[in-house]
């Protein structure tokens, strides 16, 4: 039997502590479902135990590459299990329903590219659904089980690829493991990047392509070419799987080779011809002929960022106004933010700590006078790409929904940022560096690094998904994302999927609409929903709206007359966003049920489906 060094034994405690942290978080979920106030302490202690001891132990003790691999594997697995424990019985996030619809259409028709009523671009990026349908069909697995298996495998493998990239670049598994933990400082890592969405495959293939290109740069001759071919294969798979990831993948691979060319590395152009140009061609062809709709899908996001950052224009918040024919509920005088001030301050504190730590590491790593020959391949590209962190912070501050957008982009930016963090910390720690030239700041020591990680991690958790009102599971809430997916809504959507023809136009509140779009394959019409629901009666103008949008179904979730919207708005296009002071009045909801022009074809006491007479 191989002897395990004492240091390795200490590091092996990391998986145990992380498993116990998953246990604490599961207990918090258990208590929250029962309505206990003790759930929050369990949750926060579990979350802190998930990351901080790992940072301390790995920074403090030396361990073998295999032991560190187990720690990274454990981190990826435990973060995925936190998401599974939140809702282990069914899908709960709106984006997952959109991709579930694509999967169901592949399973039922046996072909790709069928129209998706919930997210049209999902069907033209079918990589995730192809693999999941293969597993579901070969293993006769329920769709949900296959979805969780594939999403979990991709999520864990992604973190492992980060570990591989950083190992290849730093030649130190220990620092690479710390960098992998730094990568998890992404507000959406635990949930959004674990969900069954095309992002998980986009990240997986992007990082696989980057790893192969880094290995190609380290190798020579035929081996370099083989790694470059693998990079092209993974990049092409990325193009078929996710739009934003494919753009990032091509740009980052090109940046790596351009910086290497600038450094005078021989063979960079040959590697570009093998690894980058084929992926760029596939991306251009795919976007032009298969997925042209992605341009119109992403254009509004780009325009918002451009307007906010370059022209300092921010979309004005909607102002409630007296609309003829609408009986408005009680309104507030000014919109109320959905997150609490204390959590916002924690988020700001964490962001400032991250930016300061990154800036210190950047200055330490790129300090003039360091030998450039000692820098690993692709170092320049990683340093340049890491500067995006400043742009993301600007996006967070400048845009009204900057928190969500910036945290989604963190998934890509934190790879180079992690690299700079570990290289800066490593140089500050390095015994070869002259002490008088590079004094070691205290936060680079294990305890200091752990304390810094606590501040950043708490800030990350404050900004993390799900939002604060849905952070813990429990009884259904109105307009609360994961907390709005209830058995009653799922039963109604299953009934509609079985009994109604598909692609019918319908109106409903935002969360119910997302479930029905995904599971029942119906088409949600968002523009008139607020006006139809807020109308006091089914007046001729309201009926005219139904006719104009060819609406066949009105789906009424009675939770909108019982609770205020946790997210500030009931509908996608809600003129009263943030202003609601009381739920929608009950008579406004009952008008559908008593309307002679419609028939209640389904009612489970929580959700009713009203068929509009043709």
Partner 1 sequence: MKCRHSISRLMFAVATVAVMVTVVCTDTRFVGILLVLVLPASMLCTVPPSRWAGSGGQPMLVTLALAASFAIMIFAGLAINLFARFTSGVWAISISVTSLALQAYASSSRGAPSSDPRPPLARPGLLAIAVVSFALLVVTISLAVSVGSARVLARKDSVVSLGVVPAPHGAIIIDVSCLYCTGENVRIIYGTPTGRHVQIAYLRPGSEWARKVSAPRRSSVTATVIDLRTRTVLARAMLRSAGISRSIPSKAEANS
Enclosing H/E stretch for 240 = helix 221-241
Structure tokens at 57: 């132990």
Token pair 């320049």 in the structure block, residue: 380
User: Residue 108 CB, nearest distance to partner 1 (Å)?
Assistant: 10
User: Residue 29 CB, nearest distance to partner 1 (Å)?
Assistant: 5
Choice between 348 and 505, CB closer to partner 1? 505
User: Residue 278 CB, nearest distance to partner 1 (Å)?
Assistant: 13
User: Residue 459 CB, nearest distance to partner 1 (Å)?
Assistant: 26
CA dist 23 and 147 (Å) reads: 23
Choice between 236 and 351, CB closer to partner 1? 236
Choice between 463 and 538, CB closer to partner 1? 538
Other C-beta atoms closer than 10 Å to the C-beta of 284 total: 12
Choice between 160 and 531, CB closer to partner 1? 160
Strand 505-507 to 523-524 pairing: parallel
The sign of the dihedral angle between the CA atoms of 119, 123, 127, 130 is: positive
Measured N-to-C along each axis, helices 510-519 and 94-109 cross at an angle, to the nearest 10 degrees, of 20
| Cα–Cα nearest to 460, from 351, 339, 320 | 351
Residues 6+ apart with CB under 8 A from 303: none
The radius of gyration of the chain's CA atoms, rounded to the nearest angstrom, is 26
Choice between 489 and 525, CB closer to partner 1? 489
Phi, psi for residue 147 in degrees, rounded to 5: -60, -45
CA dist 395 and 293 (Å) reads: 25
Sheet containing 505-507: order of strands: 523-524, 505-507, 553-557, 607-612, 598-603
| Residue 354, CA distances (Å) to 423, 428, 429, 564 in order | 15, 17, 19, 35
Choice between 339 and 539, CB closer to partner 1? 539
Specify whether the CB–CB gap between 479 and 574 falls below 8 A. no
CA dist 416 and 188 (Å) reads: 17
Q: Is the peptide bond before 386 cis (omega within 30 degrees of 0)?
A: no
CA dist 614 and 598 (Å) reads: 9
Structure tokens at 63: 């361990």
3-class secondary-structure state, position 34: coil
Choice between 78 and 584, CB closer to partner 1? 78
DSSP output for 417-448: HHHHHHHHHHHHH-SSS-TTTS---GGGSHHH
Structure tokens at 335: 């919109």
CA dist 38 and 422 (Å) reads: 37
User: Residue 546 CB, nearest distance to partner 1 (Å)?
Assistant: 15
User: Residue 291 CB, nearest distance to partner 1 (Å)?
Assistant: 13
């Amino acid at each position: 039997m191989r002897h395990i060094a004492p240091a390795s034994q200490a590091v092996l405690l990391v998986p145990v502590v992380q498993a116990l942290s998953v246990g604490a978080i599961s207990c918090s979920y258990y208590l929250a479902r029962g309505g206990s106030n003790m759930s929050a302490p369990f949750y926060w202690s579990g979350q802190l135990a998930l990351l901080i001891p790992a940072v301390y132990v790995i920074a403090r003790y030396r361990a073998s590459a295999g032991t560190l691999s187990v720690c990274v594997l454990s981190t990826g697995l435990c973060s995925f299990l936190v998401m599974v424990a939140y809702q282990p019985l069914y899908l709960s996030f709106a984006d997952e329903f959109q991709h579930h619809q694509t999967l169901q259409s592949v399973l039922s028709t046996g072909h790709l590219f069928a129209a998706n009523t919930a997210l049209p671009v999902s069907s033209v990026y079918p990589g995730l659904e192809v693999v999941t349908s293969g597993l579901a069909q070969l293993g006769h697995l329920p769709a949900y089980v296959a979805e969780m298996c594939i999403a979990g495998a991709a999520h864990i493998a992604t973190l492992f690829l980060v570990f591989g990239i950083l190992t290849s670049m730093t030649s130190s598994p220990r620092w690479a493991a710390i960098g992998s933990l730094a990568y998890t400082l992404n507000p959406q890592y635990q949930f959004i990047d674990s969900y069954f969405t095309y992002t998980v495959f986009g990240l997986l293939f992007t990082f696989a392509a980057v790893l192969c290109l880094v290995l190609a740069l380290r190798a020579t001759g035929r081996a370099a070419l083989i790694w470059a071919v693998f990079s092209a294969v993974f990049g092409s798979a990325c193009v078929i799987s996710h739009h934003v990831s494919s753009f990032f993948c091509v740009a980052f691979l090109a940046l790596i080779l351009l910086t290497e060319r600038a450094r005078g590395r021989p063979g960079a152009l040959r590697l570009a011809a093998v690894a980058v140009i084929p992926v760029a061609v596939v991306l251009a062809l795919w976007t032009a002929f298969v997925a042209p709709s992605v341009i119109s899908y992403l254009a509004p996001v780009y325009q918002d960022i451009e307007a906010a950052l370059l022209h300092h224009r921010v979309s004005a918040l909607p102002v409630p106004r007296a609309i003829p024919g609408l009986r408005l509920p009680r309104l507030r005088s000014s919109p109320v933010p959905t997150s609490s001030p204390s959590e916002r301050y924690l988020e700001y504190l964490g962001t400032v700590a991250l930016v300061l730590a990154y800036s210190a590491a950047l200055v330490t790593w790129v300090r003039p006078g360091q030998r450039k020959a000692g820098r690993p391949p692709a170092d320049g590209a990683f340093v340049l790409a890491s500067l995006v962190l400043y742009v993301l912070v600007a996006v967070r501050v400048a845009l009204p929904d900057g928190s969500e957008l910036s945290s989604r982009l963190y998934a890509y930016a934190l790879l180079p940022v992690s690299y700079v963090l570990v290289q800066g910390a490593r140089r500050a720690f390095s015994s070869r560096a002259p002490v008088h030239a590079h004094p070691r700041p205290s936060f680079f020591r294990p305890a200091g690094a752990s304390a810094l990680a606590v501040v950043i991690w708490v800030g990350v958790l404050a900004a993390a998904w799900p939002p604060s009102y849905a952070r813990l599971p429990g009884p259904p809430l109105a307009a609360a994302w994961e907390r709005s997916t209830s058995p009653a809504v799922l039963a109604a959507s299953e009934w509609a999927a079985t009994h109604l023809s598909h692609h019918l136009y319908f109106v409903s509140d935002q969360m119910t609409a997302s479930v029905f779009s995904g599971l029942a394959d119906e088409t949600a019409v968002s523009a008139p929903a607020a006006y139809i629901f807020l109308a006091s009666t089914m007046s001729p103008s309201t009926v005219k709206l139904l006719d104009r949008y060819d609406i066949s179904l009105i789906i009424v979730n009675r939770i909108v007359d019982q609770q205020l919207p946790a997210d500030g708005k009931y509908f996608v296009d809600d003129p009263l966003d943030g202003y609601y002071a009381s739920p929608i009045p009950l008579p406004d909801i009952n008008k559908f049920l008593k309307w002679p022009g419609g028939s209640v074809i389904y009612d489970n006491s929580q959700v009713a489906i009203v068929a509009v007479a043709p």
